[in-house]
Amino acid sequence: MSPAVQWWLVSDLHLDNSDEDPRSPGKVLPGFLQRNVPAASGPGQHVVFVGDSFELAGLGEDESLARLESILNFHQEALRALRECTARGVQLHFMCGNHDVELARPSVADRLSVSLSPADPGRVRVHPWFLHVPGVLVAEHGHQHHALHRIPEVLRTAVNGTDELGLAPLAAWHAHATKPALSRAGALARACLLSEQAERRIRGLAYDELLQLESERLGLDGEAVRDLARLSRFRTVSALPVAATRMALAAAGRSIAREHAPAAAGRVARTLQSHGVAVPWYISAHTHRALESPLEDCPTRYINTGTWSSDVRGHGPDQADQRAFPYALVEVAEDGSISGGLRYWRPDAW
């Protein structure tokens, strides 16, 4: 039975206004879209970019707009392929990641939509937090569960249009990399303090109003959305030792291997289940480790869509084969049955 709806999900392309990455994700993307998505295009086709599609992090509003324009102009073939998708009726979705959280700004989201779908900007949707497809899937980048990249109040910018993104602690550390050590440490301390204050605010009545608006957009009960927003939390006392360990390992050319679903994935899935809105698939990214696995104590399966950049950290086929690009495919058949899983696209096999 042919699928009635298809969801194609990729992540962590890290497109910039240059082409220094040996895997050249911007050059590979057009072939992937032309080979897979337009072949069965129509209203049932969705392509989801699960965060970190662009390198925009740490920029102000005007700088973000200019950088996005520069990136799209540099990757002309990818731009044309994405426009061809929207012209065929394919719906594009962009999740905000820690490298492109600036997409949460309405002005930047609007610029992206108009650039990729001039005739019908509604064909491009930006999701500041997560995507919910009732009874099918939930997708989010995953950085909101990583304390050092977490931006608790991301909805304040997306809903109110205010410039209150700020910098997550690790982003603040990297943004001041060229400054003296004392100044850099001061920036990190300020970012930690602001994150602690933001965590207290998202548990207040004012932020509850924003969460209620988001629940209507997501098609989820307000209580479920509040529970999801508070599943993870930044705490300086626990985050800084983790940061120090990661930096020491990075300096030694090592990283923390984690070839299993993160604990946060299980918390999200079980929270949805407790509210009677369980989904078969929970999809995230951020770690650059492509992975599919079951989740404990719930029927949901986990997929991490890995990365199309050269910064592959998992032990899957894309680690050994630089021409293997991970993606997730979820299909809903006409009879309502749902299937899917982690896949790999190889341009040379086309």
User: What ranges do the domains of the chain cover?
Assistant: 3-142+257-349, 165-253
Tell me, which fold does domain 3-142+257-349 have in CATH? Purple Acid Phosphatase; chain A, domain 2 (3.60.21)
Distance CA 56, CA 102 (A): 7
pLDDT tens for 215-230 read 999 999 999 999 999 9
Highest mean pLDDT pick, 50-54, 63-67, 231-235: 50-54
What is the separation of C-alpha 173 from the centre of its chain, rounded to a whole number of angstroms? 21
Distance CA 102, CA 239 (A): 23
SS3 at position 208: helix
Average pLDDT over residues 288-298: 94
* pLDDT of amino acid 309: 96
Residue 40 DSSP symbol? G
* pLDDT of amino acid 349: 73
Handedness of CA 347, 111, 286, 296 (dihedral sign): negative
Q: Output phi, psi for 140, to 5 deg.
A: -150, 160
Average pLDDT for the chain: 87
pLDDT tens for 88-102 read 999 999 999 999 989
* pLDDT of amino acid 232: 86
Residue 135, both tokens: 């009874």
* pLDDT of amino acid 259: 63
- Is the confidence at residue 162, as pLDDT, over 80? no
Distance CA 189, CA 204 (A): 24
Output the pTM of the full model. 0.91
* pLDDT of amino acid 324: 96
Give the range among 12-21, 173-182, 258-267, 321-330 with minimum mean pLDDT.
173-182
Distance CA 301, CA 298 (A): 8
Average pLDDT over residues 283-309: 96
Give the range among 9-18, 239-248, 269-278 with minimum mean pLDDT.
239-248
CA distances from 96 to 30, 54, 309 (A): 21, 10, 17
Distance CA 326, CA 346 (A): 9
Choose between 165 and 344: higher pLDDT.
344
* pLDDT of amino acid 185: 74
**Best CA proximity match to 347, nearest among 65, 28, 100:** 28
**Residue 307 pLDDT grade (very low, low, confident, very high; cuts 50, 70, 90):** very high
What is the separation of C-alpha 44 from the centre of its chain, rounded to a whole number of angstroms? 22
Share of the chain above pLDDT 70, in %: 85
pLDDT tens for 245-260 read 665 555 566 665 566 7
